[in-house]
Amino acid sequence: MIVCRTKEELKKNLNHLRENGKSVGFVPTMGYLHEGHGSLLRLAKEANDISVLSIYVNPMQFGPNEDLDRYPRDEARDLALAETNGIDIVFLPTNEEMYPSKPLTAVMVSGLTSQLCGATRPGHFDGVGLVVSKLFNLVKPDRAYFGMKDAQQVAVIEQIVNDLNYDVEIVPCKIIREPDGLALSSRNVYLNAEQRAQAVVLSQSLHLADEWIHEAGLSAGALLDRVRSIISKAKEATIEYVELLHYPSLQPIIEDELLNGMESQIILALAVKFGTTRLIDNSLLSPSGGVQHV
């Protein structure tokens, strides 16, 4: 496994490995890797000749009052997991390497970023768009792998790829969960024992919504009320949003609109704080054809 800390090292090693038209699979991450990341790494390894992992906590996607400084980091652990999964190249740049001067360019996506996490984290997706564009230009992957726990991010990145004609296939990957249903997240480490026990209410509410959505006469607003009621029973939970939207357009669904038989795919998305730890989760639903497990 090759570890590259500069753009030049990355380009040099990639150019050497990708001779004779070899395909490149890419997994961009912010590190503190867990089994959810591991599943992406294995998919990239299995489907491509060369697998590349980037580990970079991108300051451009954090707001002034967010957890950039305390975001968990463990380089040795991350590199061990990458090696275990057979990754060929790990890109580990510094802030100075990624942003040698203050960037004056923005990659903004309208329409998809004014709701969900975009509404409560202004500028977040501009930072995501910029760093992903930079990484795509450096790695030039054939395929890039993203977990659907950040479903809005996947929709935004797919839009960037389509609009800017990046020659890369975006591969959305299913959410990996703990045995009790909690979605794996690098931020789970922040939860104390009581918060961790209560956080399973997120996946529980999504599971129930998967069943309720097929009820005749159930409106979007009624479904949202039920989900909010369940989450609110967790004493440590503070709801940031519970929303039902069309996916991947992320356009709103009218609250009195009936769900049973709706043809389009929809997303039930949650953001909830347990103490100071913000967790997100979601489920993609097809009311006319069953649950889409991602």
- Cite the active site residues: 37
Task: Report residue 125 as tokens.
Answer: 């997706």
- The CATH number that applies at residue 137 is 3.40.50.620
Indicate whether 179 belongs to any domain.
no
- Can you give the residue range of the structural domain that contains 248? 186-292
Q: What confidence score (pLDDT) does residue 264 get?
A: 81
What is the count of structural domains for the chain?
2
- Which one-letter DSSP state was computed for residue 87? -
One domain, residues 163 and 210: no
Same domain membership, residue 252 and residue 127: no
- 127 lies in some domain: yes
Residue 212 backbone phi and psi in degrees, to 5:
-65, -30
Gyration radius (Cα) of the chain, Å = 20
Q: What is the pLDDT of residue 289?
A: 56
Task: Tell me the sheet residues that pair with 243.
Answer: 269
Are 133 and 244 within one domain? Answer: no
Give residues with Cβ within 8 angstroms of 288, minimum separation 6. 261, 262, 263
pLDDT of residue 288: 67
In a domain, 178, yes or no: no
Last residue of a domain, one of 116, 147, 173: 173
Cα separation, 1 vs 90, in Å, equals: 7
pLDDT of residue 19: 83
We report the CATH number of the domain holding residue 213 as 3.30.1300.10
Do 214 and 150 share a structural domain?
A: no
Q: pLDDT value at position 144? A: 98
Q: Taking the CA of residue 167 as centre, how many other CA atoms within 13 Å lie in the half-sphere pointing to its CB?
A: 6
Could you please report the per-residue DSSP string of 185-197? Answer: -GGGGG--HHHHH
Instruction: Tell whether 270 and 129 lie within a shared domain.
Output: no
Q: How far is CA 284 from CA 7, 225, 292, in A?
A: 37, 18, 5
Among residues 124, 144, 173, which one ends one of the domains? 173
Q: What is the pLDDT along the chain (294 residues), one digit of tens a residue?
A: 999 999 999 999 999 888 888 999 999 999 999 999 999 999 999 999 999 999 999 999 988 878 888 888 999 999 999 999 999 999 999 999 999 999 999 899 999 999 999 998 888 999 999 999 999 999 999 999 999 999 999 999 999 999 999 999 999 999 999 999 999 999 999 999 999 999 999 999 999 999 998 888 999 999 999 999 999 999 999 999 999 999 999 999 998 888 877 778 899 999 999 999 999 999 998 776 544 444
What's the distance, Cα to Cα, between the start and end of the chain in Å? Answer: 30
Shared domain check, 242 and 125: no
Residues 75 and 200 in one domain: no
Q: Please indicate, yes or no, whether residues 7 and 83 belong to a single structural domain of this protein.
A: yes
The structure's pTM equals 0.92
Tell me the H-state helices in 85-147.
95-98, 117-120, 124-139
Residues 208 and 139 in one domain: no
Assess if residue 32 is contained within a domain: yes
Q: Are 143 and 239 in contact (CB under 8 A)?
A: no
- The reply to whether 288 and 255 lie within a common domain is yes
Which candidate, 47, 210, 71, places its Cα nearest to that of 143?
A: 47
